[in-house]
Amino acid sequence: MTIKLKPLKDQVMVITGASSGIGLATALAAAEKGARLVLAARNEQALQEIAQEINDKGGQAIAVGADVGRQQDIQRIADAALSHFGGFDTWVNDAGVSVYGRLLEVSDEDNRRLFDTNFWGLVYGSQMAAMHLRNRGGAIINIGSVLSDIGITMQGMYSASKHAVKGFTDSLRMELEEEGAPISVTLIKPSAINTPYPDHAKNYTSHKLTLPPPVYEPEEVANAILHAATHQKRDVMVGGGGKLMSLTNKIAPGLMDLANEKLMTDQQLLDEPAQHREGTLHQPGEGGRIHGRIKDTMPTSLYTRTVTNPLVAGAVVAAAGAAALALMGKKRKENGTNRYKQSNTRPEMVEVVEIVEEVHVTSLPPQRPL
């Protein structure tokens, strides 16, 4: 089966969840590269403003107010793409919601609403896209998570929804390949990303919410999505931190469970009182904002740049390996000097991830966009 994906400048792209965060970052990046856009989200006013901003700069975008958990709204999105642009070439299922709370505390109503958006919205969008693209070819890009590979405390049902997304996406890919459909199906698995996600989540705790480190910027996910729109990729993990967690879970799941039990709950809660605890689970929230409130972030991911740009992979891996070995040697020396010295630094493996991720900033020439 030969799959030919168009350059972005020749594409019509549908993006759900386009009013904020990863979806908005992807929309703006795609517009800069000349793609025509169909933007969908519940916050139609924010979408209209975003579409107008793109059009004012010479791009082409339309806004469709839609709740992806409603199959008829997915049909409206597709109809809008057909009527305005004659169809579409890439469909990005990005819409998502979350709940922070223990599994025995979260209500069935909230859990079902989460699955309506995260799973069924993605299923409806993928089915619609597959039916449309069977004859013309194109790409379906589903946004999963590092939590498609592991589960964590406090976001148990979100983890379950992203596991379901992975299972569905993998099965859809195989079925389309089996029938010879010219459709690329990619699962993007972001690590923790600095978007308004914690502010938008429904909060069952008494604390303000955050994300566990390392945290990456949403533009890195947008780059991976646009890469998948023009290159056939099975899946892409965004962030070496997420890849490390996924690998550890496969190799030593008991160790990963123990680490999560000891660290993960505290890493998701701030020592500040909760605000706006209802979030955007059942109603549209603030739109127009790409970034969250986390200040200590990693602007790019060396790991992701490597797997999406094989030309620099060898140099990157060599430099990253040297940096990691140097760091671990330094740690061993420090531990030999004072084994019981207390420190406020993050765990050694997280530091290794950060050093490995950052090597390309000083050791490699500037890379082309993904």
CATH number of the domain that residue 288 is part of:
3.40.50.720
Residue that finishes a domain, picked among 265, 289, 308? 308
Same domain, 324 and 197: no
Contact 101, 159 (CB under 8 A): no
The pair of structure tokens assigned to 344 is: 């406020």
The pair of structure tokens assigned to 248 is: 């550890």
Show the CA angle centred on residue 212, arms to residues 101 and 168, nearest 5°: 65
- How many domains are contained in the chain? 2
pLDDT at 54 over 60: yes
Contact 47, 123 (CB under 8 A): no
pLDDT at 365 over 70: no
* Mean pLDDT for the chain overall: 88
How far apart (Å, rounded) are the C-alpha atoms in residues 333 and 96?
45
Q: Structure pTM?
A: 0.86
- The sign of the torsion formed by the CA atoms of 262, 265, 267, 270 equals negative
Residue 79: what are its φ and ψ, rounded to 5°? -60, -40
What domain range includes position 179? 8-308
Contact 11, 207 (CB under 8 A): no
The answer to the question of residue 3 being in a domain is: no
- For residue 272, the model assigns a pLDDT of 96
The answer to the question of residue 2 being in a domain is: no
Lowest pLDDT segment from 39-53, 241-255, 302-316: 302-316
Residue that finishes a domain, picked among 261, 290, 308? 308
The pair of structure tokens assigned to 4 is: 């030919």
Closest CA to 220 of 275, 122, 290: 290
Helix (H, G, I), strand (E, B) or coil at 193: strand
How far apart (Å, rounded) are the C-alpha atoms in residues 361 and 255?
32
Same domain, 200 and 98: yes
Same domain, 303 and 327: no
Which residue among the candidates 124, 158, 197, 303 is catalytic per the annotation?
A: 158
Same domain, 143 and 172: yes
- For residue 269, the model assigns a pLDDT of 97
Residue 87: what are its φ and ψ, rounded to 5°? 135, -165
Please give the average per-residue pLDDT across 60-75, as a whole number.
98
pLDDT at 40 over 50: yes
Same domain, 217 and 317: no
Is 197 one of the annotated active-site residues of the chain?
no
Helix (H, G, I), strand (E, B) or coil at 100: strand
If one counts every other C-beta atom within 10 angstroms of the C-beta of residue 54, the result is 22
- For residue 172, the model assigns a pLDDT of 98
pLDDT at 303 over 60: yes
Lowest pLDDT segment from 68-72, 87-91, 106-110, 327-331: 327-331
Closest CA to 303 of 210, 224, 197: 224
Closest CA to 286 of 3, 41, 28: 41
Residue 221 DSSP class: H
